[in-house]
Structure 1
Amino acid sequence: MTYLMVLGGLILLFIGGEALVRGSVSVARKLNISELVIGLTLVGFGTSVPELVTSLRAIGQDAVGIAVGNVVGSNIANILLVLGLAAVIRPILTNPRALARDGMIMLAVTALLCALIWFDMFTRPVGIGLLGLLLAYLTYSFIADQRRGSEAAAMHAAEGEVVEAHYGLFVGLLIALGGLVGVVLGARLLVDGGVVIARDLGISETVIGLTIVAVGTSLPELVTSVVAAYRGKSDVALGNVIGSNIFNVLGILGVTAVVHPFTLRGDIAVEAMSQGRASSIISSTDIGALILSVFLLMLFAMTGKRIARWEGAVLLLAYVLYFGLLFDLIPVPGIIPYG
């Protein structure tokens, strides 16, 4: 029964996330909002709503490992799994100039996330600061793209155009609301089922968050990126992943910390230590995988002007390797000290 809950949660998250994005985009088009704004905000934020609702549900259940593991695992999955699969289907053409700004911002945001994890700084003021940074990023991106008509602007506009949604205002609203309900119900089933499975099998909740939950909440990005690559709009797939990773850190962790400040240490360290992990429930292996995934993305995207099929295969292989490390199939000494 528990496994059916998780499966049902994954299905509802996927269907609900897709409906929310398509309904919102349809309403935006009816209101004559530009494809640039749609791509920069609705698509990036919409595909991250499953992560947001899931993390809020998890933090409300005191399942901190699932809440934070969901964000960290989703960012890793977005690059290694989503982009890797998209590149294997069709090589992803890249425009280094278009990726320069958002790519550098993603690097900075990833470094910020690692620092917050290392120093365990998920307080309400920090959450407000993260949301402020997200607002500043969106404002700057919109103003810069409008003024210069840059390659980045074309990429963001294409992200909006790749979503086929022309339902009209009323139908679009109904679809968006239905999608939001589906996401909320799906997050509830996924988190509650994930907690039970972790306890029954003696698996860390963090591992559940980094794997099952993270992959499940990344399904909207997976579908969007694969469809974009299949249609030959591969730069959209890359832009979608970069934008989603920025939203995940600044938006999701920001909102979560504002609503319910939390710690990665303290009493919850018992769970981590019982699983052979560091005193922080996010281990050095997780941080290393996050840093490596961003490094590989920037390396492949900025050299050769495309992510080739073999490079996509490397990303997928790295994701398989990460799973092996998570489930202790490959022993790795801890770097973060206990206590």
Structure 2
Amino acid sequence: MAYILLIIGFALLIKGADLFVNGSSNIAKLLRVPTILIGLTIVAFGTSSPEATVSIIAALEGSGNVSLGNVVGSNIFNITLVVGAAAFLYPLKVESETIKKEIPFTLLASTVLLILMSDIALQGFSSNLLTRSDGFIFLLFLTIFMYYVIEIGLKSRKDTADEPVPEDLSWGKNIFITLLGLAAIIFGGNLVVDNGTEIAYSLGMSETLVGLTIIAIGTSLPELVTSISAALKKESEIALGNIVGSNIFNILFVLGSSAAISPIAVDDKVFIDVILMILLTVVLLVFSRTSFKVGKREGLVLAAAYIIYLVYIILRN
């Protein structure tokens, strides 16, 4: 029964994220918010909403290891399999802003995470912990990122000021769709956390491992669906930006909120995963700088890297 409820939870997360992104995007159009702002905020936040819901619920229930494993696992999944699959279908064009600012900002956020969780090595404490203070530091970094995004939006506002609002868009319908999507995400997130944790314990898995695998893959499905859809529509220039934006939200908003609610104990094994996440972000930056695109060959390398990583963490348990 737990497996069925887990699948239902994932289905609700995916459909909920889809409704949330569509409704929010339409509201942004009604408000005449620039498209670039929609991509960096609403789509990135929308596809990160399952991670946020699952991690915050886990934090409230005292399963902090699920939160950390979920974020790190989701980010690795996004950089490798999501970008890899999308790039294999259609080469991903990379905006210069993504190379100069957004991927480096992801690297900065990942490095800050590594520093804040290294209490034993850096401060001589008896255990590694992401405290409430650390959570608020992440949220402060998030406000810096949001300031940057809003600045971009204001600069490009002139480009969309004269665009007509589609006649078929209505406020009532899109507010309803957005709220319905949010409700599905929250309910689905509850099902995923409860049943994923139950299955993990029955299989002898640790909370961290289930966060890195089952829950991370499940909550990253919206990113996978969104990026593959963008690649198939040959709108590849937005796909990579959305993934990078989603990874930034995962660390700064998801982990920040989770740690602010309840301090997160850090499993020693997660350090390897965080270091790997940083290295993979560097690899993505290098790939992006080659002709300002991620091609099929690079896509295959990234996808293969995830399969190797998945085998490694399962064997490690």
TM-score in same-fold range (> 0.5): yes
What is the match of residue 276 of structure 1?
Answer: none
SS at match of 2:26: helix
Aligned-pair distance for 1:173? 0.9
* TM-score, with length taken from structure 1: 0.84
| Matches for 1:105-120 after TM superposition, within 5 Å | 105-119=105-119, 120=128
Q: What pairs up with 1:72-83 in 2 under 5 angstroms?
A: 72-83=72-83
**TM-score normalised by length of structure 2:** 0.89
For each residue in 1:113-148, what CA deviation from the matched residue of structure 2 results, as whole angstroms up to 9, or x when unmatched? Answer: 22223333522222122112111111123225644x
Structure number with higher relative contact order (C-alpha < 8 Å, ≥ 6 residues apart): 2
RMSD in angstroms over aligned alpha carbons?
2.4
Match of 1:66 in 2: 66
Q: How does 1:8-157 map to 2 (within 5 A)?
A: 8-119=8-119, 120-144=128-152, 146-147=154-155
Tell me what 2:299 maps to: 312
Partners of 2:20 and 2:181 within 8 A in 1: yes
Shift of 1:253: 0.9
| Counterpart-to-counterpart distance in 2, 1:98 and 1:62 | 36
CA distance in 1, matches of 2:244, 2:98: 12
Q: 1:37 to 1:175 in 2, by over 3 A?
A: same
Paired residues of 1:40 and 1:138 also in contact (CA < 8 A): no
Provide Cα deviations, 1:69-92, integer angstroms capped at 9, x if missing partner. 110011101110110000111111
Deviations 1:306-327 (A, max 9, x none): 2111110111100000011111
Report the counterpart of residue 300 of structure 1 in structure 2: 287
CA distance in 2 between counterparts of 1:188 and 1:301 reads 36
CA contact (8 A) 2:34 2:153 kept: no
Show the counterpart of 2:270: 282
Q: CA deviation at 1:305?
A: 2.2
- Residue aligned with 2:270, SS: coil
Deviations 1:288-307 (A, max 9, x none): 43123212211111123221
Rounded Cα–Cα distance in structure 1 between residues aligned with 2:44 and 2:143 = 13
Aligned equivalents of 1:288, 1:325: Cα separation in 2: 15
Is 1:218 the counterpart of 2:220? The answer is: yes
Contact kept? 2:82, 2:224, Cα under 8 Å: yes
Moved over 3 A (4+): 95-98, 144-147
1:178 counterpart residue number: 180
**Mind listing any 5+ residue stretches in structure 1 that lack a counterpart?**
158-163, 265-278, 333-339
Which secondary structure state, in structure 2, belongs to the residue aligned with residue 280 of structure 1?
coil
In the aligned structure 2, how far is the partner of 1:306 from the partner of 1:198? 39
Q: Give the partner amino acid of 1:282.
A: V
**Correspondence for 1:199:** 201
Amino acid at match of 1:253: L
- Give 1:206-285 correspondences, 5 Å limit: 206-264=208-266, 280=268, 282-284=270-272
Tell me how far apart the structure 1 counterparts of residues 259 and 206 of structure 2 sit (CA, whole Å): 22
1: CA distance, partners of 2:57 / 2:184: 14
* Count of paired positions: 304
